[in-house]
Amino acid sequence: MSTANREPPRPAAGRAGIKKELPAHFKDYRHVWVFIELERGQVHPVSFELLGEGRKLADKLQVQLAGVVLGPPGEAVGNAVAEAFAYGADLVYIAEAPLLADYRNEPFTKAMTDLVDTHKPEILLLGATTLGRDLAGSVATTLQTGLTADCTELDVDTDSSLAATRPTFGGSLLCTIYTLNFRPQMATVRPRVMPMPQRTDKPVGRVIRHKLSLAEDEIATKVLGFLPDNQSAKANLAYADVVVAGGLGLGAAENLQLVKNLARAIGAEHGCSRPLVQKSWMPADRQIGQTGKTIRPKLYIAAGISGAVQHRVGVEGADLIVAINTDPNAPIFDFAHLGIVTDAIRFLPALTEAFTRRLSPHSRDKLAS
């Protein structure tokens, strides 16, 4: 049989069909870095969560875990360095300069990219905060490397590549993304996605200082003042010990008051699923899920929430999940620890009344202890 018209074989699907050829100048990139987000004297807790995850990656790769602190000269930077070591860093890189006192994209990007070009990490992790997202995108673009945003899982593949998993297609699927031919491999992770590691007091270790070669008059943006957002502290879902949330199963916007009443009775934060924000029933800072807040409470009560994948990845770190839904086949029952098949509109007032009778003002504070 003639084979003259036969098509050439197609490459195999998936990673098996991808030829990985790391350029020679990237082969000496080693170690795992975590950006320690320091803003107005405070380190964002997501930095410590990432140090815990970075420790696992560094141990698998048999390399060092480093923290990166950018900020103005002073006590705050020193405290951030000490905390980085307490949460597992082997060494810390520091760039101190007065023009790093307030976050601006230009000087922070310059400091980070200079550090990367000089010391060559293979993995760089940042928190998916407002600051972290802005910095990560700019650094990845400047370095011309890959960035996987809002990851829910990080691991090391058999060939030592970073396997960064995140939801896609509106949260209906999970995909794992690799940066095969570029370094560093970058990823952002939202607060509370990863568990907080144990803090251990220990002496400050090796510190490497980097001088930022940038002058104030070279920066286009100027900080004229700082006005705190008075609304930003109202929703503290990510770090709440008890959370009560409602979904479309509540039927109407006014029924969200039932969720708020229960939350008030037990000293909890209240939230909602994505469809309720899309309907403008609740503000976006109350949304729970992959495209909202990730939570890790000791108790999570979900009323009238079906439990789509994008919601699941935002709540499955909770110690105890109680689901209330009329549909016995709702996906949320697949991962809830306790499921109650009933009408949340009737059940929530009864539950609130029962808690109110049993809980004194002092015992409400002890509910999550």
Q: Note the pLDDT tens digit of each residue in 248-267.
A: 999 999 999 999 999 999 99
pLDDT tens column, 134-170: 999 999 999 999 999 999 899 999 888 999 998 777 6
Q: What is the mean pLDDT of residues 68-77?
A: 96
For CA atoms 57, 314, 290, 39, the dihedral sign is: negative
Give the pLDDT of residue 21.
Answer: 75
Give the pLDDT confidence score for residue 367 in this predicted structure: 56
In this prediction, residue 23 carries a pLDDT of 85
Percent of the chain, pLDDT > 90?
73
Q: What per-residue confidence (pLDDT) applies to 173?
A: 76
Distance of CA 36 to the CA centre of its chain: 13
| C-alpha–C-alpha distance, residues 61 and 366, integer Å | 42
Phi/psi at 359 (5° precision): -100, 125
What integer pLDDT is reported at residue 24 of this predicted model? Answer: 85
Q: Provide the pLDDT confidence category of residue 227 given band limits of 50, 70 and 90.
A: confident
Q: What is the pLDDT of residue 13?
A: 46
| Extended strands (E) in 75-231 | 91-96, 123-127, 147-148, 153-156, 162-168, 173-177, 185-189, 206-210
Tell me the chain's radius of gyration from C-alpha atoms.
24
If one compares 168 and 96, the residue with the highest pLDDT of the two is 96
Specify whether the CB–CB gap between 142 and 109 falls below 8 A.
yes
What would the mean pLDDT of 108-122 be, rounded to a whole number? 97
117-140: pLDDT as tens digits: 999 999 999 999 999 999 999 999
Residue 5 confidence class, pLDDT cut points 50, 70, 90: very low
